Amino acid sequence: MKNKFSKILLILMLIFLLSGCTNMSKLEEMPIFLYHSVKPELEEGDNPSMVVTMENFEKDLKYLRDNGYTSIDLQTLIAAYENPRMKLPKKPFVITFDDGYLNNYEYAYPLLKEYTTKASIFTIVWSVGRDKFILNEKPITPHFTWEQGKEMLESGVIELGSHTFDMHSPAGISYGYENPCGFGLEPMEGESQEDYYERIYNDIESSKILMEENLGEKVETFAYPYGIYNDTVIQVLKDLGFKLAFITESSEKNKSIFEIKRISISNGIRVSDVLKKN
């Protein structure tokens, strides 16, 4: 009787462990797509690696729907990492956008609603609602306003995360307030570790505070500009209460919940092509 009970207990333990492994495998294999801009048509000067036409974006959404895929939001993704035995849909996927362009609101958002597909937008906070640089009149690609961001957030279709306050810039001078900066979140030459941590912390904290004040919701997710990060940046995110962050590499395995890979989608690459390869 004792041996029989021990066997049953062993079987139950194996089922328990295997269910967790299966879910972690599903998380590792889950496609997470990265877009930037969605427009009716490509315009002169548009970079087709950054801009997807509405027709192609709709093709992606239709393929995912018609082939039994289910979009999940980032809170579900966080919960799945925290609890490996949590049940996920059979074919889960995540859609993300970087930068916070107005065209996300004008063109991507209506299609996402039509196809009942969730997505997350990572916002460069200094540029919210702007179509020009702050310190001069040079035009930039327009970004959606706080009001538009809140509308999308309240729809339940869109989540918003941070893409820094003013660190999405090449090395030298930041795009927003023209402050000294490294390339993205890289340290500046000669910068001490203490000064580097403080500079990164202050910027990301500012993005979080402004987003939460203007949107009325906690901001706990992050995408690294240009995919650049290191252990110091991850520690800053943890210290500020972030729970998840995305890189841009698609070839490596996820190293942690702060290093989740994404697959970049361009106008010449369809989601169907990516998924059929896998």
Is pLDDT of 252 > 70?
Answer: no
pLDDT for the residue 276:
85
Q: Residue 29: pLDDT band by 50, 70, 90 thresholds?
A: confident
- Domains, the chain, in order of start with CATH, read 31-277 (3.20.20.370)
Q: What is the per-residue pLDDT across 68-94, written as a single tens digit (0 to 9) for each?
A: 999 999 999 999 988 888 888 989 999
DSSP state of 104: I
d(CA 28, CA 23): 9
pLDDT of res. 27: 75
Return the amino acid letter for 265.
Answer: I
Which distant-in-sequence residues (6+ apart) come within 8 Å of 16 by Cβ? 85
Terminal Cα distance for the chain, rounded: 48
Q: What's this model's pTM, rounded to 2 decimal places?
A: 0.90
pLDDT surpasses 60 at 4? no
How high is the mean pLDDT of the chain? 91
pLDDT tens-digit profile of 192-251? 999 999 999 999 999 999 999 999 999 999 999 999 999 999 999 999 999 999 998 766
DSSP readout, 59-107?
Answer: HHHHHHHHTT-EE--HHHHHHHHH-TTS---SSEEEEEEEE-BHHIIII
Residue 21's pLDDT band (cuts 50, 70, 90): very low
Tens-place pLDDT, residues 128-145: 999 999 999 899 999 999
CB atoms near residue 276 (< 10 Å) = 10
What is the per-residue pLDDT for 248?
85
pLDDT (mean) for 2-26: 53
The string of pLDDT tens digits covering residues 89-148 is 989 999 999 999 999 999 999 999 999 999 999 999 999 999 999 999 899 999 999 999
Q: Average the pLDDT over 257-271 and give the result.
A: 95
Q: What pLDDT score was predicted for residue 23?
A: 55
- The whole-number average pLDDT for the span 34-53 is 95
pLDDT of residue 241: 98
